[in-house]
Amino acid sequence: MSSLNSAENSISLQRGRAYGFFAAAMEYPEGELTGLIRSGEITKQAKQLLCGIYPQLETSIDWKALSNAGDNDELSIEYTRLFDVGGTDGPPCCLNSGAANSDARMQMLEELVRFYNYFGLTSGDAPGNELPDHLTTQFEFMYYLCQQEAECQQAGEAADDYLRAQRDFLKRHPGQWVPLLNSRLEEHKAPAYYRALGELMQSFIQLEQQRIESVVSQLGEPLPHEKSVEATESPIVPSKSDDVPVSVITIHRKPH
């Protein structure tokens, strides 16, 4: 593998780890995770990993806030208030992107499942039984695509399919949902940790979209067998008769 391919492979792996980090950082804050936040280890890991990919994040994020877990069980109580408990409209900062448009949620779930199934990922016993539109599930899918991109680079093969999928998936899902989630965290006075994490996720995804758009723009035309998510208005939505899985596999769970 050439030095150029080696560098690209390294960046792809780092980007995958970044999505794995976000998935882990948004888990329920108990035990080890809370300890990592308070000790500053989360901040250290995030800064080292994410600024290594996009150095401009160094000065645009309140890094100290990522070490602010509050007193005692404050963070876990706030997690429940923000993400778990709500009235008829659900929690104020729901982590399921379909909650932003309940009328179109079934179509969104169908599209997400088609995204996952297209790459051989099927419904199954996911830890936490996350729905296909859950933020951590979407981040884990991006982790998977980045890992597959890196494997193609390692083998000297074209990673065009995975790059186009990253572009389309980010544009249609996390790229739309994370900014809205971030604004809701501000609106509902989330703890400093979650506000900083929301800002970091949004800034990272914006930089990711710019990067991937640039890379994909240099690719050749897709081969006939390749399917771009943006080929039609709703290219991977099944017919109404299809069953919609209620959860997808957890593709990646970042170890502490």
Residues 28-46: tens digit of each pLDDT: 998 889 999 999 999 999 9
| Domain assignment present for 248 | no
CATH code (residue 206): 1.10.3480.10
d(CA 135, CA 78): 18
Q: Give the tokens for residue 4.
A: 């150029």
Instruction: Say if residues 25 and 204 touch (Cβ distance below 8 Å).
Output: no
Closest listed residue to residue 137, CA positions, set 20, 43, 35: 20
Could you list the pLDDT tens digit for every one of the 256 residues in the chain?
555 556 677 899 999 999 999 999 999 998 889 999 999 999 999 999 999 999 999 998 999 999 999 988 999 999 999 999 876 678 999 998 887 777 778 888 899 999 999 998 865 545 556 789 999 999 999 999 999 999 999 899 999 999 999 999 999 999 999 999 999 999 999 999 999 999 999 999 999 999 999 999 998 777 665 444 443 333 333 333 334 333 333 333 333 3
Residue 223 has a pLDDT of: 66
Angle between helices 192-217 and 3-25 (to 10 degrees): 150
Instruction: Say if residues 119 and 144 touch (Cβ distance below 8 Å).
Output: yes
Number of domains, the chain: 1
| Domain assignment present for 231 | no
Residues 169-188: tens digit of each pLDDT: 999 999 999 999 999 999 99
Find the domain containing 184 and state its range. 3-217
Instruction: Say if residues 145 and 139 touch (Cβ distance below 8 Å).
Output: no
Q: What is the mean pLDDT of the chain?
A: 83
Residue 230 has a pLDDT of: 43
Q: Give the tokens for residue 170.
A: 């980010």
| Domain assignment present for 250 | no
Residues 101-125: tens digit of each pLDDT: 777 788 888 999 999 999 988 655 4
d(CA 205, CA 210): 9
Residue 203 has a pLDDT of: 97
**Cα dihedral 196/200/206/208 (nearest 10):** -170
Residue 123 has a pLDDT of: 54
Closest listed residue to residue 132, CA positions, set 254, 249, 253: 249
Is this prediction's pTM over 0.85? no
| Domain assignment present for 102 | yes
| Domain assignment present for 222 | no
| Domain assignment present for 80 | yes
Residue 149 has a pLDDT of: 95
d(CA 102, CA 253): 28
